Structure 1
């Protein structure tokens, strides 16, 4: 469960996101909205990457400002357009993030194989295509024992086969580990076979449920 109370995000004095009160129940949630609507700002705020005013509470216990380490340990985020230091390889990045996220034994190798990252495991990320960067970002987002995974445009530049394996991962993490997902996509994921719990619209600085 993710609870927002009086959350406001501003840039240079201009308010771009206002959430007076909102509760996201456990499940798989599709967050939609046009370009520039604030979806990425919402996700980056939830991930603890942007300062804001108000309160974001995870599982009725971990508050992002009061418990920053415990909160971030349980919330993972894959950016829409990931960028990494060009000299680092997937092996470098995943073992660093995996240690930080306390990844279980064998998890890194398993995810690398499922998402196809093992095929370019030791290559510098400066040589990667956008699709390779996306696969790496998705791998990092599943590391550890997250309670919430935020996937911003996970299907962009992703090939069909990997997209299918990603959906399988989402279903497995949801049913076996009770992980909640928030994902955005310009492709209508309501047409997929993901068991969606809710659909949300971001626009005009607000977040509202879609009936």
Structure 2
């Protein structure tokens, strides 16, 4: 489902050589639900943002053994969606505006936006500018956007943070449905008790000091 080879992510620190913050020589994830744990600053979000195509890197990232992130950027991004831990949007836009744009880009099936708005509770503030949103409302919108289209892989960075219990239950029921009926895979992180999701995990990985290792 996801194959990472010789990935190196570095940031310039004022000198000629970049500071390496993430190094993944090889990581092969089969279809399923994969949990990445680690402390703040361990590299979890950097890894997710890199896989989502938001950060430049050296190396190779392949999805469904076919689409490479740099060689096939459009096909890759149509199959990989991402919900950020702390999402931000232009303050004047509403959920209706943003989902309309992203839904068109992701070729969302007819009726999908409306259904996801109900599942996530975004329908309750559909025409309200995001500049008036609480952190919980922003989180709900980010989760809706991450589920649009027909992705094969969805990255959820801290999906439990600021999310109310009822919406979390709806979300994880829907994730189980996507997993069982459409073979959608998920990568997720959480500082909360992962058992609260009720999801059956395929693997657990530890992220720390810029490296990713499997747990026993």
What TM-score bracket applies, with the shorter chain setting the length?
over 0.9
Q: 1:191 to 1:135 in 2, by over 3 A?
A: closer
Secondary structure in structure 2 of the residue aligned to 1:158? coil
Compute the displacement of 1:193 (Å): 2.2
Q: Distance in 1 between matches of 2:196 and 2:54?
A: 31
Q: Provide Cα deviations, 1:27-69, integer angstroms capped at 9, x if missing partner.
A: 0111100000000000000000000000000011000000001
Secondary structure in structure 1 of the residue aligned to 2:162? coil
Judge conservation of contact 2:169–2:197 (CA < 8 Å) in 1: no
Q: 1:146 aligned to 137, 147, 151, which one?
A: 151
Structure 2 unaligned residues grouped into runs of 5+? 13-17
* Counterparts of residues 112-123 of structure 1 (less than 5 Å): 112-123=117-128
Q: Distance in 2 between matches of 1:191 and 1:101?
A: 30
Given the two structures, how large is their TM-score scaled by the length of structure 2? 0.96
Q: 1:203 aligned to 197, 202, 208, which one?
A: 208
Residue aligning to 2:112: 107
User: How many correspondences in the alignment?
Assistant: 211
Secondary structure in structure 2 of the residue aligned to 1:187? coil
Q: Provide Cα deviations, 1:128-177, integer angstroms capped at 9, x if missing partner.
A: 00000000000000000000000000110000111111111111111111
Q: Distance in 2 between matches of 1:23 and 1:73?
A: 20
Judge conservation of contact 1:78–1:141 (CA < 8 Å) in 2: yes
Pairwise CA RMSD: 0.8
Given the two structures, how large is their TM-score scaled by the length of structure 1? 0.98
Secondary structure in structure 2 of the residue aligned to 1:196? coil
Structure 1 unaligned residues grouped into runs of 5+? none
Q: 1:94 aligned to 88, 96, 99, which one?
A: 99
Residue aligning to 1:4: 4
Residue aligning to 2:15: none
